Amino acid sequence: MIAMTIHVFRYSGFNRQQKTWYIVTFVSVLFCSGAEYAVHCGSYDPAFALPLTILTVLQFSVAPCMAVFFSGALGLHRQSKKAIWFFLPNALIEIVCAPFGLIFRFDAEGYHRGDLFVVYSAFNFLSLIYLMVSMFAVGRNFRHRDQSTIIMIVLTLIAGVVPVTFLNIHTAYISIGMAACLCYIYYNDLVQEETREKHIASQKRITEMQEQMISGLASVIESRDIDTGLHVSRTREYVKLIAKGAMQEGVYTDEIDDRYVDMIYTVAPIHDVGKIVVSDTILKKPTKLTPEEFEQIKEHARSGGVIVHRILSGVADESYLDFASDIAMYHHERWDGNGYPAGLKGEEIPLCARIMAIADVYDALTSERCYKKAIPPQKAVKIIEEGSGTHFDPKLVKIFLKIFNETDLWLPEHA
């Protein structure tokens, strides 16, 4: 309970009123524990029968209210205030019955339960039920409640209620200990749930920022060249189809999952972001490029990786940053190692870049540019098939061919 109290006071998610109610709950637990110890410590003296009687009346009056006090700590302030008045009759009954020993009594031998002890047990039972209902009332606000925690709460309540109500044994220590554990379990679950929701909200904001920045970069690319802009729109659809197809066929499932598909779809538009460093004279040249000009074009891959790192660094997490950078830098690498900028070979090339390579080449072949005419999709597919094992990852080419034969989304005009 001490650890729990420290936790409550340090946690900023509870307001002052909730913390006040918790103080009342904690003080009540300490008082009832102290009273229970005074009565059952084994050092009974008949001379102290009267003060022990008064102490027990107070304990029996307060004990059923602990659950009600704790409901206030949960944030149910109105309900808890009304419920306190509901339990006041218990205190009145304890006071009236005490002189006659109807609920409990002290004699020369010590403490004994009276014939009406069941009255106290009934109030204690109702208070625990009230606590359980309060917890579920608060728990309804959380969509992702841990079902195992709810089951634990119910079992703990049953474990505390049954001995107190039906067995002729002293269970105050057990009940108070269980109540303390129950409070800790629930509060811990409550805090974890809120923390998880805050984390999810924070991640959502970060994701939105990342997507906005990527969208902005894609807009810059599109503003340079309308053909490139349409290329961006089409290739993101293509990579998504290839990635989903690979997942369905059980290819590279150690890397590809739903999150991977979402990521490659999101970052694909920036695969050509490095072209912003290439002059329009070269980028839009209608005739064949000179070797020197082609070398400048090739620099867009390396530049793209650097640009992505600089812009997304500090906004995206490390794995997302590497993913986006890889797709921009390595989508012109070849399976046989003759690509650029790093000359990577086979599975040395990041998987996202290998997927992007197929989508990029297919769309480039089937699209009209200032320097060439478009070729039919079937012919472009044949070229990619011939490049299996040299230019492209052979496993991904098989996926590409299967998807192409099953859909018409590969036609540029459908993008």
Comparing 97-106, 282-291, 357-366, which segment has the lowest mean pLDDT?
282-291
Q: Is the same domain home to 302 and 398?
A: yes
Asked whether residue 206 is domain-assigned, the answer is no
Angstrom CA distances, 23 to 5, 17, 130, stand at 8, 10, 19
Q: pLDDT band for position 71 (50/70/90)?
A: confident
| Nearest CA-CA partner of 353 in 228, 243, 220 | 243
Domain holding 118, by residue range, is: 2-198
- Looking at the structure of the chain, the number of domains it has is 2
Q: Is the same domain home to 323 and 237?
A: yes
Asked whether residue 204 is domain-assigned, the answer is no
Euclidean distance between CA atoms 127 and 60, whole angstroms: 12
Q: Is the same domain home to 360 and 288?
A: yes
Q: pLDDT band for position 301 (50/70/90)?
A: very high
Q: What is the pLDDT of residues 141-190, one digit of tens each?
A: 554 445 555 565 566 556 655 555 555 444 454 555 555 555 655 666 66
Asked whether residue 216 is domain-assigned, the answer is no
Report pLDDT for 272.
87
Asked whether residue 212 is domain-assigned, the answer is no
C-alpha count within 13 angstroms, C-beta hemisphere, residue 340: 12
Q: Is the same domain home to 44 and 187?
A: yes
Euclidean distance between CA atoms 112 and 225, whole angstroms: 93
Angstrom CA distances, 74 to 23, 132, 149, 190, stand at 12, 11, 16, 9
Please report, for the domain that includes residue 313, its CATH number.
Answer: 1.10.3210.10
Nearest-5° angle of CA 286, CA 290, CA 295?
Answer: 110
Q: Is the same domain home to 46 and 188?
A: yes
Residue 213 makes CB contacts below 8 A (sequence gap 6+) with 311, 312, 315
DSSP string, 375-386: --HHHHHHHHHH
Asked whether residue 386 is domain-assigned, the answer is yes
Phi, psi of 244 (to 5 degrees): -65, -40
Asked whether residue 57 is domain-assigned, the answer is yes
DSSP H helical ranges for 268-331: 280-283, 291-312, 318-329
Asked whether residue 376 is domain-assigned, the answer is yes
Q: Is the same domain home to 58 and 179?
A: yes
Does the pLDDT of residue 240 top 80, yes or no? yes
Comparing 5-14, 322-331, 364-373, which segment has the lowest mean pLDDT?
5-14
Asked whether residue 341 is domain-assigned, the answer is yes
Q: Which residue has the higher pLDDT, 226 or 53?
A: 53
Q: Is the same domain home to 254 and 290?
A: yes
